[in-house]
Amino acid sequence: MRATAIEATEFPDLSRAYRVMAVPKIVINDRVEFEGALPEPQFLAAVLQAAGGNGP
């Protein structure tokens, strides 16, 4: 597990690469992305989806 907080203004190349328009923007495994905070159950669902779904 890696959780990185990125100051978008200091890393314009990263912000461009991830198309950051509004903040906060969350990107998980370069697959799932959303803007704004999510309640815990929905955040977890996004993490599980990005990790490849439930189960093997």
Partner 1 sequence: MALLNARDEAEVRKQFGQMRDPIKLVVFSETLSGAVDLCRQNEQLVREVAALTDKATVEVLNLAIDRARAESYGVDRVPAIVVEGARDYGIRFYGVPSGYEFGNLIDSMIVASTGEPALSEETKASLQALTSDVDIKVFSTPT
Applying CB under 8 A, the residues found at the interface with partner 1 are: 1-11, 14-15, 18, 20, 23-30, 40-41, 44, 47-48, 50-52, 56
Q: How far is the CB of 29 from partner 1 (least distance, A)?
A: 5
Q: Which class for 14: exposed (0-12), middle (13-18), buried (19 or more C-beta within 10 A)?
A: middle
Q: How far is the CB of 45 from partner 1 (least distance, A)?
A: 9
The token duo for 47 is 């993490």
Greatest extent of the chain over all pairs of C-alpha atoms, in Å: 38
Q: How far is the CB of 48 from partner 1 (least distance, A)?
A: 6
